[in-house]
Every structure is written in C-alpha cells, then in structure tokens.
Amino acid sequence: MYDELASQELIPGMLTHLEEEIDQLSNVESLQQSLAQGIYLIEEEQIGLLTQFSTLNTLLNDVSSKSKNFNVYQERVNSLSIELKDILGDLINKQQTLESNPALLEKLIARWDKIQSLLQKHQVDNIDNLIHVRESLGKKLEETQELQHRIKALKEKLLELEQSLEDLSQQLHRNREEVSPKLCGEMEKIISKMGMQNAKFKIDLKLEDHFLTNGKEQIDFLFSANLGSDFKPIKKVASGGEISRIMLSIKAILSQFKQLPSIVFDEIDTGVSGAVSNEIANIMANMSENMQVLTITHLPQVAAKGKQHFLVYKEIKDNTTKTKLKELNQEQRVKELAQMLSGEELTRTAIDHAKQLLN
C-alpha cells in the first residue's frame, strides 16, 4: 500500500497542473487554430492590430504636435503597441512549441486515473491529504521494519542461548553419567549398614529431544532390594521403611557436598527398629557434625543420639486444643526417653536403660 503511494511522486497542487497538461494535449489542433488566428489578427499587413495601432499612433502624433494635452494618449498607445508586440512573440513561440503527443497524453491520463483511484481508495479528497496518508503509512512501515529487525535480533539471540543451553545440557549429561555410578555405590554402602545388604541402585538417564527443567533427560532412580531382582522405579517397589532408609542415604551423601544450615527429618525412621534404627541414628549424628539436624522420631535409639531435646505435646484450654513445644532438661530427657522405652508406666529398668542410651 505504501509502495503504491510512494511510486506516484505526489506533490501538493500537482493535480491541477496535471489537468492543465491533459486539457492542452487533448485540444492541440483547436489551440493551434486559435493561435494562428490570433497571430493573423495582430500582424496582418492590411487590417492587423499592429497596423491599426501604427495608424492610430500617427494620428495621435499629429494631434500632440498641435496640443500637448494629447501627449498622454500617444504614450499609452505606444505602450499598448509594445505590449501587443510582446504578446505576438509569445503566441508565435507557443504555436511553434505546441504539438500533438498522443503517447504523453495517454501517460498523463493514466496517471490522473491512478491518482483518482488512490483518492477514492484512501477516502480523501485532495493531494495534501493523500500525502499525509503516505507519510503515515511510511512511519508505520519504518516501525514495522524496526520491529522486524528486533525480532530477527531476538531470534538470533535465542539461537545463541539455545546453543549455550544445549552445550550446558550435554555437559550436565556427561557429569551425570560420570557421577551416577559413584552415587549409587555410596548409597549402597550406607544402606547396607541399615539392614539392606543386597540392595542395589541404578540411575537411568533417558535423553529427550527438548529441554526439560533440569537438562534434556529424564532421570529415573531404579532399585533392586534382593539378589537377582530386576531394577524397577523406587516409588513402585520400595516399602515405606525402605524408602525412609533410601532417603536418609541420599541426604547423608548430599550433606557432604552442599552447605546446608539445617536439615529436618520427619519420622524418617518409620518402619524400622532394633539395630537398623541405631544405625540410622548414627548416620544422622554424623551429619550433625557439619549442620543442624532436626529429627522428629518415636524411636528411643534415634532420640538418644540427640544433643538437645524438645517435647511436642498438646494442651486443651478453654475448649481449644493447642500444640506446644518445650525444651527438656537432663532429668526430663531421661524421663521422656524411658517412657518411649516402656510406655506410660516408668520402670527402674527403663530409666536405667534411658540413662545408658544417653551416655
């Protein structure tokens, strides 16, 4: 649309000039005849205007010689005679240059028709308004071209980022391939201490053709609890107790590499007891050397490894139940631990056992 307007070289007032040129070329023969007749009227030897003005001038010259009052008329006639000669010269020049040009006439008419079409198309009634439309479209075109340049630049930047992301994803995949066997080996060592001597782990890395949250691969943790068992996803084959021990082994390993201020275990010892629970407690105690470990537990073997104890209990007041937290002193620690060992009824044996566990 803009190109169509720009190709017409629109100029204010051009339509009037164009119409004049079309009118002239359309009436060349008639104009030539009229010019020829006008030239004849001016310069014809017997009755032409120049001859008549010459006769008039001779007459007024004779009158002026007899009375100065007539000088002004003689001067005016002289001026008219000079102007008439100029007009004659212009008419002759115009007659000589005026010629028929059908090709040019056709071109001018086509241009006039095109401009009329543009006026109608853009619903304006003069060239000035049409020029305003052209300038407005030109500005929008510049904005569009600028936007296209920005889009192109952004696409190029996107390609760069995608390539960078691809490189990082490939590096991440190689790192995972390298560290996965080591992680599985460490998990197997830790979990074997918790009564799962035959447990095996495998990390399956499946490359995808699109980017995911953490690279371009799906990561599946596979687990085999017994010798000869197939590897299957942990969430499908591991029991609650096994999952608790697996999670503890993972966190125990990660705590060695990631500087965490605190870590919370919420009944991670669920489903285990005896020597396994004691080993779980040892693992968490080792972790507490490098960070704060908060453990919620119902196992006395685990609780006894803590250096500080808090009792969580509920209290009913004004028909409202509130959960409260209380720090325990040494005597209260022994009492609560003994109750975990023997139940509500405290026995001397439970108390002695609790002291032994704490020491």
The secondary structure of 17-38 as a DSSP string is HHHHHHHHHHTHHHHHHHHHHH
Could you tell me the pTM of the whole model?
0.53
Biggest CA pair distance of the chain: 169
Question: Residue 228 has which token pair?
Answer: 């000869």
Angle (deg, nearest 10), helices 240-254 and 127-192 = 110
Rg (CA), the chain: 55
Q: Is the Cβ–Cβ distance between 180 and 196 less than 8 Å?
A: no
Convert the pLDDT of each residue in 107-141 to its tens digit. 878 887 778 777 777 787 877 777 787 778 778 88
Domain ranges of the chain: 2-121, 134-235
What is residue 155's predicted lDDT score, i.e. its pLDDT?
94
Q: What is the DSSP letter of 324?
A: E
Q: Is the Cβ–Cβ distance between 25 and 108 less than 8 Å?
A: yes
344-357 average pLDDT score? 84
Convert the pLDDT of each residue in 202-253 to its tens digit. 999 998 888 888 888 999 999 998 888 889 998 888 887 788 888 888 888 8
Convert the pLDDT of each residue in 48-103 to its tens digit. 888 888 888 888 888 888 888 888 888 888 888 899 889 988 888 888 887 878 88
**Whether the predicted pLDDT of 1 surpasses 70:** no
**Whether the predicted pLDDT of 34 surpasses 90:** no
Residue 16 phi/psi, 5° resolution?
-65, -45
Q: Among residues 285, 295, 289, 297, which one has the least CA distance to residue 337? A: 297
Convert the pLDDT of each residue in 158-169 to its tens digit. 999 999 999 999
